[in-house]
Amino acid sequence: MTDNTVEKQPLTLLGLGAMGTALARAWLAAGHPLTVWNRSPERARPLAAEGASVAGTVAEAVAASRLTVICLLDDASVDEALTGADLTGKDLVDLTTSTPDRARALAVRADGRGARFMDGGIMAVPPMIGAPGSGAHVFYSGSRALFDTHRDTLAVPAATSYVGEDAGFAALHDVALLSAMDGMFAGISHAFALIRKEDIDPVAFAPLLADWLVAMTPSVHTVAAQLADGDYTREVVSSLAMQVAGNATLLRTAEEQGVSAELLTPYMALMERLLADGRGDESTTGVVDLLAR
């Protein structure tokens, strides 16, 4: 429910794509005076009807508020949009998905133009924005003072998670989680490929797969604890030697089912390198070090 008794901070939003529009609606619904700008002006019209002020240029939009949130397609569109705007004394938050180095470079440039800067990584899809309990959250990093100033406003569309003064850390956390998700999707694809041509209902199989993935996720904490103390034999319940032996069964099954093992083999190759190093009694945590070298 919107609390109308507290004055809501005004802000500006650049970008009204799928994500930008969801963000805009969340701030408008919470009663924040909102100025919007979008390259194609027609996308701003429905929001104007919902109470947003529409700026004709980025310069005008940025001038309208102390805080400007950017949610554009990519780095190039952000650079193009910010050219020519006066950023002196402004607070900039870039939610456009990017890399850590890019976020750090933008922080330096914002500082040179007199602005405080934070980068953000959105861990949500548009329908989760402004929906309490959806699990949506945004990683923020960069100016702690900026975060403290605008914490309540930033918390309107999604929960906030401040991860450090290093402007690159939000993108790093974002991409680390997305990369893990890719690995999970790869595994899901392989699992469905294995049953694809059989008389097995994928809809009946799905909850079995989902429950198994959930049951395995606590291993994240074991990996973290092992990395923290450097003992990769700690709390090992499935040794590397056992898992490498099991890989042969996974590969043979893929062959029997006529399924390509191309998603599995790169990970298995790393496990075999560890085994060849005589680390069979460890967990698979050593893969982290092989990758990070």
DSSP string, 12-38: EEE--SHHHHHHHHHHHHTT--EEEE-
Q: Which helix (H) or strand (E) holds 123?
A: strand 116-123
Length of the chain: 293
Nearest partner of 280 among 242, 248, 250, judged by Cα? 242
Among the listed ranges 70-78, 153-161, 225-233, 261-269, the one in contact with ligand NDP (CB under 6 A) is 70-78
Torsion of Cα atoms, 236 then 241 then 243 then 246, to 10°? -150
**Do residues 118 and 140 lie in contact, with contact meaning Cβ atoms separated by under 8 Å?**
yes
The tokens describing 75, both together, are 């780095």
- For ligand NDP, which is the closer residue by CB, 71 or 271? 71
Contacting residue, 24, 62, 71, 92, with ligand NDP by CB under 6 A:
71
By CB under 6 A, the residues from 225 to 254 that bind ligand NDP are none
Distance from the Cα of residue 47 to its chain's centroid: 26
Contacting residue, 4, 5, 40, 83, with ligand NDP by CB under 6 A:
40
Distance, in Å, from the CA atom of 242 to the CA atom of 275, rounded to the nearest integer, reads 10
- For ligand NDP, which is the closer residue by CB, 124 or 146? 124
Distance, in Å, from the CA atom of 161 to the CA atom of 224, rounded to the nearest integer, reads 20
Site string for ligand NDP, 76-105 (x = CB under 6 A): -x--xx--------------xx--------
Provide the minimum distance between the beta carbon of 124 and ligand NDP in the complex, in angstroms, as a whole number. Answer: 6
Torsion of Cα atoms, 156 then 161 then 164 then 165, to 10°? 0
Closest residue to ligand NDP using C-beta atoms: 17
261 phi/psi in degrees, rounded to 5: -95, 15
Contacting residue, 8, 9, 17, 163, with ligand NDP by CB under 6 A:
17
Among the listed ranges 69-77, 216-224, 229-237, 257-265, the one in contact with ligand NDP (CB under 6 A) is 69-77
By CB under 6 A, the residues from 104 to 163 that bind ligand NDP are 122, 125-126
Which stretches of 167-236 are DSSP H helices?
A: 169-195, 202-216, 219-229
Number of residues lying near ligand NDP (CB under 6 A): 21
Provide the minimum distance between the beta carbon of 139 and ligand NDP in the complex, in angstroms, as a whole number. Answer: 11
16 binds ligand NDP (CB under 6 A): yes
- For ligand NDP, which is the closer residue by CB, 37 or 162? 37
- For ligand NDP, which is the closer residue by CB, 30 or 69? 69
Contacting residue, 18, 155, 180, 242, with ligand NDP by CB under 6 A:
18
Is the dihedral angle over the CA atoms 90, 124, 139, 171 positive or is it negative? negative
Among the listed ranges 74-82, 133-141, 188-196, 213-221, the one in contact with ligand NDP (CB under 6 A) is 74-82
Among the listed ranges 67-75, 203-211, 236-244, 259-267, the one in contact with ligand NDP (CB under 6 A) is 67-75
Q: Which helix (H) or strand (E) holds 117?
A: strand 116-123
* Cross-sheet strand order for the sheet of 159-162: 53-54, 34-37, 11-14, 67-70, 91-94, 116-123, 137-142, 159-162
Among the listed ranges 35-43, 155-163, 186-194, 224-232, the one in contact with ligand NDP (CB under 6 A) is 35-43
> Which residues of the chain form contacts with ligand NDP (CB under 6 A)?
15-20, 38-40, 43, 71-73, 77, 80-81, 96-97, 122, 125-126
